[in-house]
Amino acid sequence: MDDILEVRELTRRFHGLIAVDRVSFRLARGEILGLIGPNGAGKTTLVSMINGTLKPSAGDIVFEGRSVRALPAYRRAYLGIGRTFQIMKPFPGLSVLDNVAVGALFGGGERNLERAHAQARESLEFVGMGSRISHHADELGGPDRKRLELAKALAMKPRLLLLDEAMAGLNSVEIEELIDVIRQLRSQGISILVIEHVMKAIRSLCDRLLVLHHGEKIAEGATEEVLRDPRVVEAYLGRERR
C-alpha cells in the first residue's frame, strides 16, 4: 500500500508523565484516519510531534518515505504537512486575509505577497469565508475562527492535513458543512488525520480509527469495528454516555 505517513514507536514524556507511549501507525494516501480517545489521552501531543511543533522523546516520523524527525515545523509544512490547532492563535491585529496569507508564506513556499494573497483568498472561499476577508481576526466568532484556522492550514497546500478538533463548538449545520469541506479535500487527494469528538463526523468521515488511552494505542481498524471494541467503549464511549 502507498503510505503517505508512517509513525514508528513515537513517544513523548513530560517529566514523569508519558503523554504518548510508543505509538506506531500508518496512514495511506487518500485516507481519512480518525484519532480518538478521552481528554488527556495524548492526541494533540501526537499530532504536534508529527507536524514538528513538539520534539519526540523517542521514535520516528516518516513522511513520503523520508524521516522528518529532525526537521523544524516550517520545513515539514513546506514538505506538505499542514495542521490546525485546537487552541486557535490568529494574529489579532491582522485581517482575515493577511492571517491566511501568512500561512501561504510560511508553509506554502510562496515568496510573492500578491500570490500569497490570491492563495489565501482561494482558501477562504473554499471554507465559506470569502465575504469576511477584510474583517479583523479578533472580530470573528468561534465558528469563523475555526474556518480561519482551516483556511490557514489549506493555504500551505498540504498533502497531509492534521485536524485537531476542527468541529468543537460548531452547531449541527456547521458540522455538516465542515464534513462536506473535508470530503472535498479528500477528493482532491489530500490525506487527513482528524482528531475529533463529534461522533457523527467520525462515523461519516473516517475510513479507519486509531484510539489512544493514557498515551497508548488501544485499538486501530475499520471505524465501526473499532467503535464496537469493548476496550474502546470502556475507555471512551462509556464515559460519554454516563
Ligand X SMILES: Nc1ncnc2c1ncn2[C@@H]1O[C@H](COP(=O)(O)OP(=O)(O)OP(=O)(O)O)[C@@H](O)[C@H]1O
Site residues (CB under 5 A) for Mg ion?
43-44, 86
The cell numbers describing 76, all together, are 515539514
The strand order across the sheet containing 208-213 reads: 81-83, 160-164, 191-195, 32-36, 208-213, 216-222
Assign 144 to helix, strand or coil. Answer: helix
Residue 171 interacts, among ligand X, Mg ion, none and using kind-specific CB cut-offs from 5 to 8 Å, with none
Residue 218 interacts, among ligand X, Mg ion, none and using kind-specific CB cut-offs from 5 to 8 Å, with none
Closest CB 204 distance from Mg ion, rounded Å: 21
DSSP secondary structure letters along 11-60 = EEEETTEEEEEEEEEEEETT-EEEEE-STTSSHHHHHHHHHTSS--SEEE
Position of minimal CB gap to Mg ion:
44
Closest CB 18 distance from ligand X, rounded Å: 9
Closest CB 87 distance from Mg ion, rounded Å: 9
Q: Can you tell me the distance from the alpha carbon of 193 to that of 47, in angstroms, rounded to the nearest whole number?
A: 9
Cβ nearer to Mg ion, comparing 120 with 163:
163
Closest CB 220 distance from Mg ion, rounded Å: 19
CB 191 within 8 A of CB 223: no
Q: Can you tell me the distance from the alpha carbon of 150 to that of 181, in angstroms, rounded to the nearest whole number?
A: 10
Q: What is residue 95's DSSP assignment? A: B
Residue 45 interacts, among Mg ion, ligand X, none and using kind-specific CB cut-offs from 5 to 8 Å, with ligand X
Residue 14 interacts, among ligand X, Mg ion, none and using kind-specific CB cut-offs from 5 to 8 Å, with ligand X
Residues 74-133 that bind ligand X (CB under 6 A): 86
Residues 7-66 that bind ligand X (CB under 6 A): 14, 17, 19, 37, 39-45
CB 46 within 8 A of CB 215: no
Where on the chain is the footprint of ligand X (CB under 6 A)? 14, 17, 19, 37, 39-45, 86
